[in-house]
Structure formats: C-alpha cells, structure tokens
C-alpha cells in the first residue's frame, strides 16, 4: 500500500487531525495532531488493509528554531511490507504527548528515553522515569540549548 494511499485513508477517517503529508522524507511522513495520535496508531494497527504490526522506532527531535519539540514514530507492517512515519509536533516549553504504550508495548522504553533525553512528558505512561541518565540528573541532555553541568555530585563532568 502506497504511503499516499495511507494518507488519504487517514485524512478521510480523521479529517482535520491529519495535518500534512511530507513526500520527500524516506519513509514519507504524516504530521498528526498530538491529541489524536493514540487513535491514529490504534487505527493503523488494527485496520485490515494497513495493520502496522510493529513500531520500529520512536525518536524525540528538538526543533529549537521553530520553538517546537517533535516525536517521530516509524511504523512498519510485516504482513504488507509497507513503512510510514508519523510526526507529532508540540510546543517546546510544554511538550505533552499522549503515550502509545497501549498500542505497542515497545513504546514504553522508547518514550522513557525520549522523556529522559528531551523532557517530552508522555501523558498516561505507566512508568515515566529516566532510563539512561541517573535518576537525579537535572536538565535534558539532548536539547540543543543544553548547558553542560560543571559538577555531578562530587565529580566534575
């Protein structure tokens, strides 16, 4: 199934929630409203012709110059062998995205990593803790405007 076709089906069922369709990325990206991301994902997973069985990769992106924080979901279907990318953009200072942990269990750890490195808060996540950095680390290291702390406890960084 062609990504353009997937975009048409989605915009048909979700209307204005599906904002844009970017052709030149590989795989093509569909920009989705952050509130509808969970329904879109459920739909993509369970719909007969689409059934995206696995979430390949969920990455946080810091679009500093646009004042936005993006979460990119790369989905893939084993039965139909087609790929699609979903993008959710939220405001940079209040990055709240609903969790898709219910749809794919692998999102649990990816979302914890995005929270840990970017500070994106996933509402409804079962266990939103830092995964890579120490639990009492201040700041979110992967942000573009991140300033290296001089000291962590007693060691200098």
Note the residues at the interface with other proteins (CB under 8 A). Answer: 22, 24-27, 29, 53-57, 59, 61-62, 72, 74, 78, 81, 83, 85, 104-106, 108-109, 117, 130-134, 141-142
Q: Which is nearer to other proteins, 17 or 83 (CB)?
A: 83
Cβ atoms of 112 and 98 within 8 Å: the answer is no
Cβ atoms of 91 and 45 within 8 Å: the answer is no
Q: Which is nearer to other proteins, 94 or 156 (CB)?
A: 156
Least gap, CB of 68 to other proteins (angstroms):
13
Q: Which is nearer to other proteins, 11 or 106 (CB)?
A: 106
SS3 sequence, 70-101? EEEEEEECCCCCCEEEEEEEEECCCCEEECCC
Least gap, CB of 42 to other proteins (angstroms):
13
How far is residue 120's CA from residue 113's CA, in Å, rounded to a whole number?
9
3-state secondary structure of 35: helix
Least gap, CB of 103 to other proteins (angstroms):
9
Least gap, CB of 54 to other proteins (angstroms):
5
The secondary structure of 58-72 as a DSSP string is EEEEEETTTTEEEEE
> What does DSSP say about strands 155-156 and 151-152: parallel, antiparallel, or unpaired?
antiparallel
Least gap, CB of 11 to other proteins (angstroms):
21
Q: Which is nearer to other proteins, 13 or 137 (CB)?
A: 137
Q: Which is nearer to other proteins, 37 or 70 (CB)?
A: 70
């Amino acid at each position: 199934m062609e990504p353009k076709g997937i975009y048409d089906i989605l915009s048909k069922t979700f209307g204005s929630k599906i904002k844009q369709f970017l052709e030149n990325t590989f795989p093509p990206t569909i920009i989705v409203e952050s509130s509808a991301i969970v329904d879109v994902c459920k739909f993509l997973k369970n719909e007969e012709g689409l059934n995206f069985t696995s979430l390949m990769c969920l990455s946080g992106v810091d679009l500093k110059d646009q004042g936005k924080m993006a979460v990119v979901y790369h989905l893939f279907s084993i039965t139909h062998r087609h790929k699609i990318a979903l993008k959710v953009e939220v405001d940079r200072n209040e990055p709240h995205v609903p969790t898709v942990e219910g749809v794919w269990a692998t999102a649990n750890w990816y979302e914890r990593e995005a929270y840990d490195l970017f500070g994106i808060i996933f509402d409804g996540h079962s266990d939103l803790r830092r995964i890579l950095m120490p639990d009492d680390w201040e700041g979110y290291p992967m942000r573009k405007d991140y300033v290296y702390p001089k000291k962590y406890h007693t060691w200098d960084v």
